[in-house]
Amino acid sequence: MERERTNRNKISEQELRRRKAIKKRKALKKKKKSAGYRRLQLCYNLIFILALLFLIIFGSLHVFTKKKTLRKEGIEYYNKGEYEAAIESFDKALKCKQWFSDSVNVDIEMYKADCYLKLGEYSDAERVYSSIKNKYPAKYYDRNKVDFLEELSSALDRYKYGDYVSTVACFNRAIEAGYTEMSIFAASCYEQSGDYEKMKENLDIYTASHGNTADICYKYASYYLTMGDYESALSYVEQGIAFGEGTYYQEFLYARIICCEKKGEFEKAFGYASDYIASYPDDKKGADIYAWLDTRVNPDTELVNDYFGQNGNNEDVEEDLPEDSQN
């Protein structure tokens, strides 16, 4: 009995040591596992921190840029009529790489294209409108409007090089759509085709919205001269002269002589002709009209030049002109 009790005690001691060993191994294993977890967690945290730093640094370059500041600068130049400076600012803004900025970029591109239109660089405007359609989703702009502006830019570019036939239809559609400034181009097209009534209709549309210019006055004067309304023609000639020296200034001065001569105001016409040849001594038509008016104002003096003949009508005397005068 005693021996059995001793054996049971030994077994108990052995079992206790075994259990302690198992417990110790489990604790050690748990400790190692916990340390591995902490290392893994540390790695995850480090990766997260590095990723966050990357996003902050890289994202700041693509979210917090000078794009909107440069856009605002370009619009300020645009509103002041400094279109070349505006284009420069818009180009800088477009070069700023910024996330989620397609809508802003489209707005900048539209301003840029309009700058080219204002500068008369129509092919460049057409190129920008085409680029908008190719680069950006249609949800960021009105596709019909961009299509139309691209077509209009093309028409203006062709008009620039003398195409008055195929372009007038586009100008008329533009006027109907509210682009009344296109009426001046339509007027020129009709002038080239000899449809002076249509020309005047478009001139009236333009002046009603945009007022007079020297170019408009010149076209009105030409219209009324063609219609034989010399009083109205003279009114526009005087308005044109009031704009000062420019593209049509010399033509206005000569037209003033013609208007007064057609009205029978020879003294006044002769005075204007004297001023004209003093300013433009090498202009042959000025010298000729001066010479003819001299025969009306000073009939008893020797003729200065008989280009217009005694009756003031050069259509009947062309065959009698000296050979060098006919060339």
- Express each pLDDT in 212-268 by its tens digit: 999 999 999 999 999 999 999 999 999 999 999 988 999 999 999 999 999 999 999
55-91 per-position pLDDT tens digit? 445 444 445 579 899 999 999 999 999 999 999 999 9
User: Does the pLDDT value for residue 136 go beyond 70?
Assistant: yes
pLDDT number for residue 327: 33
User: Does the pLDDT value for residue 46 go beyond 70?
Assistant: no
Mean pLDDT in residue range 271-280: 96
Query: What is the number of other CB atoms lying within 10 angstroms of the CB of residue 321?
Result: 14
CA neighbours within 13 Å on the CB side: how many for 264? 0
Query: What is the number of other CB atoms lying within 10 angstroms of the CB of residue 296?
Result: 15
pLDDT averaged over the chain?
Answer: 84
SS (H, E, C) 69-133: HHHHHHHHHHHCCCHHHHHHHHHHHHHCCCCCCHHHHHHHHHHHHHHHHHHCCHHHHHHHHHHHH
Domains of the chain: 65-161 (1.25.40.10), 162-211 (no CATH), 213-327 (1.25.40.10)
Q: In whole angstroms, how far apart are CA 119 and each of 78, 85, 123, 306?
A: 11, 12, 11, 47
- Residue, of 181 and 322, whose pLDDT is higher: 181
pLDDT number for residue 289: 95
Under DSSP, the state recorded for 164 is: -
Residues 6+ apart with CB under 8 A from 162: none
Q: Do 184 and 215 touch, CB atoms closer than 8 A? A: yes
Q: In whole angstroms, how far apart are CA 170 and each of 30, 111, 116, 195, 318?
A: 83, 22, 19, 17, 43
Instruction: Using pLDDT thresholds of 50, 70 and 90, give the confidence band for residue 299.
Output: confident
pLDDT number for residue 101: 80
pLDDT number for residue 308: 46
Instruction: Using pLDDT thresholds of 50, 70 and 90, give the confidence band for residue 170.
Output: very high
pLDDT number for residue 287: 95
Nearest to 98 by CA among 71, 137, 74, 67: 67
Q: Do 131 and 123 touch, CB atoms closer than 8 A? A: no
Inter-axis angle of helices 102-119 and 143-160, nearest 10: 20
- Residue, of 46 and 80, whose pLDDT is higher: 80
pLDDT number for residue 79: 97
